[in-house]
Amino acid sequence: MKKLIVANWKMNPATYAEAERLAAAVLKTSKKLKNVETVLCPPFVWLADLSRKHENEIAFGGQDVFWEEKGAYTGGISPKMLKSSGVRYAIIGHSERRRHLEETDAMVHKKVHAALKNGLRAILCVGESLKEHTRGETKQVLRRQLNKGLAGVRALFIAHRALLRNLTVAYEPIWAIGTGMPETPFSANKAAKTIRQELKKLLPDKIAKEIRVLYGGSVTSRNIFGFLVMPEISGALVGGASIDAKEFGKIIAIANLLSYDRLS
């Protein structure tokens, strides 16, 4: 299975010209790499233009998605809007949205369902805070977020077999992001294993085995190798390093070397 590397540009860059230059630089590298799947997630204001221009060259994703298809929801971006713009993925439940915008598990649940029903590939983010980590509550937090975020999804998968590969889970140890307390590959793999065990309870076994679990926590070209060689980690959700074209190029090049079909 190809490694999946998702570039979350967050609220960067400041101008479309900069966004186009960054996308072009990443494309120059990604076109040479056949064994890694790369997704770019620019801010919404640049997303439609970039995806329409480059959708045949690289996959694009939204940094969020709303749960309704249309209506009086100021600022909302619907799944159909993303699909019609050539966007394939949507990040859902990112730790920064949970923390700064008070996004709840119930909201995340509705977004996951809306994304999947409309044919988007949902990237569900889960992870524990520093307080929860210190208390040894990692497993409980991951299980809660997965159970609430994916409630009812089993029936959706059974009814729509085409959704088989449309769910990805990203483990974000919030306590390790920008704090100077890095997560270790071994510990991240344990968390990824917990996620996969929970997925097997929530979904048909064949589907749960094929869902990719990403690591997202201050990923750089210096530490990505250690995470990607772990058996339960299938890729990475990259934040700050993704807006440095040279650094991100190194990350996807390493992922390309490490990709293999672990299900064969």
Quote the pLDDT of residue 111.
97
pLDDT band at 150 (very low <50, low <70, confident <90, very high): very high
Cβ atoms of 86 and 106 closer than 8 Å: no
**164 has a pLDDT exceeding 70:** no
Quote the pLDDT of residue 61.
98
Residue 201 CA from chain centroid, whole number: 21
**92 has a pLDDT exceeding 60:** yes
Choice among 88-97, 146-155, 161-170 with the minimum mean pLDDT: 161-170
pLDDT band at 261 (very low <50, low <70, confident <90, very high): very low
Instruction: Report the phi/psi class of residue 154: left, alpha or beta, with left for phi > 0 and alpha for psi in -120 to 50.
Output: alpha
Given the residues 54, 94, 113, 133, the one annotated as active site: 94
**212 or 158: whose pLDDT is higher?**
212
Quote the pLDDT of residue 157.
73
Sorted by where each starts, the structural domains of the chain and their CATH numbers stand as 3-242 (3.20.20.70)
Tens digits of residue pLDDT in 20-78: 999 999 999 999 999 999 999 999 999 999 999 999 999 999 999 999 999 999 999 99
Is 172 a residue of the active site? Answer: yes
Quote the pLDDT of residue 40.
98
Element (H, E) at 90: strand 89-92
**177 has a pLDDT exceeding 60:** yes
**260 or 11: whose pLDDT is higher?**
11
Whole-angstrom distance, CA of residue 16 vs CA of residue 46: 6
Whole-angstrom distance, CA of residue 133 vs CA of residue 129: 6
> For 165-189, what is the mean pLDDT?
90
Given the residues 128, 172, 198, 232, the one annotated as active site: 172
Is 94 a residue of the active site? Answer: yes
**145 has a pLDDT exceeding 80:** yes
**182 has a pLDDT exceeding 90:** no
Quote the pLDDT of residue 156.
77
> For 189-209, what is the mean pLDDT?
91
Contacts of 85 (CB under 8 A, 6+ apart): 47, 48, 51, 52
pLDDT band at 263 (very low <50, low <70, confident <90, very high): very low
What does pTM read for this prediction? 0.95
Average pLDDT value for the chain = 93
Give Rg (Cα) of the chain: 17
Percent of the chain past pLDDT 70, that is, above it, reads: 95
Tens digits of residue pLDDT in 109-133: 999 999 999 999 999 999 999 999 9
